[in-house]
Amino acid sequence: MTVNLLFVCSKNKWRSPTAEAIYRHDSRVKVRSAGTSASARRRISERDLNWADLILVMENKHKKAIANQYRYLDIPPIIVLDIPDDYQYMSDELVAMIKTSTESILSN
């Protein structure tokens, strides 16, 4: 079964697009990325939340933002990865952190 996996960070600039790139060709998932900030390159939408089976956010503040903004929706499970905004797009350390966190979730 394929899981619709939504990665979320603030500006959809480095962390969530990196995660989307890592999992783009993984047959276990269909993947999207979005940001919670008004200045995000691709802002999270109700359509994203209705599409997703699971949401992986980089920080707890992203989980809170989604819960507050979309409290009227039946939101899919949200898991916080605890990955700070300290990395550039596709940096080796960021890729490793995303893979470690996401694989532990996908293997359950």
Task: Tell me what the mean pLDDT of segment 94-105 comes to.
Answer: 97
Is the pLDDT reported for residue 1 higher than 90?
A: no
Q: Kindly provide the b/e burial profile for residues 79-91, where b requires at least 16 CB atoms within 10 angstroms of the residue's own CB.
A: ebbebeeebeeee
CATH number at residue 37: 3.40.50.2300
What whole-number distance in Å separates Cα of residue 71 and Cα of residue 95? 31
Report the SS3 class of residue 51. helix
Domain membership of residue 35 as a residue range: 3-106
Q: For the chain, what is the mean pLDDT? A: 97
Give 13's contacts (C-beta < 8 A, 6+ positions apart).
Answer: 35, 40, 41, 89
The number of folded domains in the chain is 1
pLDDT of residue 108: 74
